[in-house]
């Protein structure tokens, strides 16, 4: 009888959650104290930027040209506050996210250490950012036909699709034109130069202006409005 009672008590304790239970690490018990880059990246970044810094829907962080183009101040600002006009949300507490400033710094330092160790010389590349009003769409159309159309005619590579353009900002377009996306086989500025298309800063701005001119006010809705006149 005594043994049966003890078994019943143990069973009830198991149901109620009493007892020592699993031992949690300090980081698991206090998420805001977790300073592990690997865990922070996996939980907050890998879904968009890829498990190993590439292969995700967002820009690949393991791209040396991208790492060379971006400064630490910009990276920290985007991790903290997100990027307007893109799908990147704010992760820092200062902007309503869950990560402390120390954790944002841990992500920044980890990204640089993991993927920014060997940076190419990009001194002769077009600057990373430029005002949106510096490009000319008509000239950009000509640049696109000469340097880009041969690859982007295929439907799965069609960057002129209005639905795709609704998901990327002009700055993101400029970044891909200059840095490329090696994970997708997309050449950057240097690879285009090797193929005989050395784009100037003005031509990059014109390309962005051309793509921007193709944006739709109703992306994903290519259907004409019904004619109400009878």
Q: DSSP letters of 173-204?
A: HHHHHHH-BGGGTB--HHHHHHTT----HHHH
Residue 11, pLDDT > 80, answer no
Closest to 187 in 3D by CA, of 75, 70, 65: 65
Query: What does the pLDDT read at residue 222?
Result: 58
Query: What does the pLDDT read at residue 10?
Result: 41
| CB-based contact 53:115 (threshold 8 Å) | yes
For the question of whether the overall pTM of this predicted structure is more than 0.95, the answer is no
Closest to 137 in 3D by CA, of 160, 116, 107: 160
% of the chain at pLDDT higher than 90: 57
Residue 115, pLDDT > 50, answer yes
Closest to 148 in 3D by CA, of 185, 194, 197, 190: 197
- The helix-helix angle for 201-213 and 170-179 (nearest 10°) equals 140
Binned at pLDDT 50, 70 and 90, residue 132 comes out as confident
Query: What does the pLDDT read at residue 164?
Result: 87
pLDDT in tens, 42-79: 999 999 999 999 999 999 999 999 999 999 999 999 99
Binned at pLDDT 50, 70 and 90, residue 97 comes out as very high
Q: Is 40 left (phi over 0), alpha (psi -120 to 50) or beta?
A: alpha
| CB-based contact 92:21 (threshold 8 Å) | no
% of the chain at pLDDT higher than 70: 83
**Residue corresponding to tokens 């800063």:** 201
Residues 6+ apart with CB under 8 A from 157: 151
Query: What does the pLDDT read at residue 14?
Result: 43
pLDDT in tens, 133-192: 889 999 999 999 999 998 887 776 789 988 889 888 999 999 999 999 998 899 999 899
Query: What does the pLDDT read at residue 218?
Result: 83
Would the CA dihedral through 77, 41, 50, 126 be positive or negative?
A: positive
Tell me the pLDDT of the chain averaged across its residues: 84
Give CA–CA dist 153/38, Å, rounded: 39
Least confident of 3-12, 87-96, 218-227: 3-12
Binned at pLDDT 50, 70 and 90, residue 37 comes out as very high
Give CA–CA dist 169/218, Å, rounded: 16
| DSSP-derived 3-state class of residue 99 | strand
Top mean pLDDT of 66-70, 130-134, 224-228 is at: 66-70
| CB-based contact 195:225 (threshold 8 Å) | no
Residue 8, pLDDT > 80, answer no
Sorted by where each starts, the structural domains of the chain and their CATH numbers stand as 30-115 (1.10.760.10), 132-213 (1.10.760.10)
Closest to 209 in 3D by CA, of 155, 142, 136, 151: 136
Give the residue-averaged pLDDT of 73-98: 93
């Amino acid at each position: 009888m005594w043994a049966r009672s003890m078994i019943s008590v143990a069973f009830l304790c198991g149901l109620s959650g009493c007892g020592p239970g699993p031992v949690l690490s300090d980081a698991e018990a206090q998420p805001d104290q977790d300073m592990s880059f690997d865990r922070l990246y996996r939980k907050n970044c890998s879904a968009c930027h890829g498990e190993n810094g590439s292969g995700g829907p967002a820009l690949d962080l393991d791209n040396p040209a991208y790492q060379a183009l971006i400064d630490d101040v910009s990276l920290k600002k985007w991790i903290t506050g997100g990027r307007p006009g893109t799908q990147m949300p704010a992760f820092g507490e200062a902007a309503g996210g869950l990560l402390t400033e120390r954790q944002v710094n841990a992500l920044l330092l980890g990204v640089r250490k993991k993927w920014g160790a060997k940076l190419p010389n990009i001194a002769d590349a077009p600057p990373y950012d430029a005002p949106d009003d510096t490009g000319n769409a008509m000239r950009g159309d000509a640049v696109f036909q000469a340097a880009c159309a041969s690859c982007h005619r295929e439907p799965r590579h069609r960057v002129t699709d209005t639905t795709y353009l609704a998901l990327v900002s002009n700055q993101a377009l400029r970044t891909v034109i200059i840095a490329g996306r090696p994970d997708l086989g997309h050449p950057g500025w240097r690879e285009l130069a090797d193929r005989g298309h050395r784009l100037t800063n003005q031509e990059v701005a014109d390309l962005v202006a051309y793509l921007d001119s193709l944006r739709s006010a109703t992306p994903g809705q290519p259907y004409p409005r019904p004619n109400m006149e009878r």
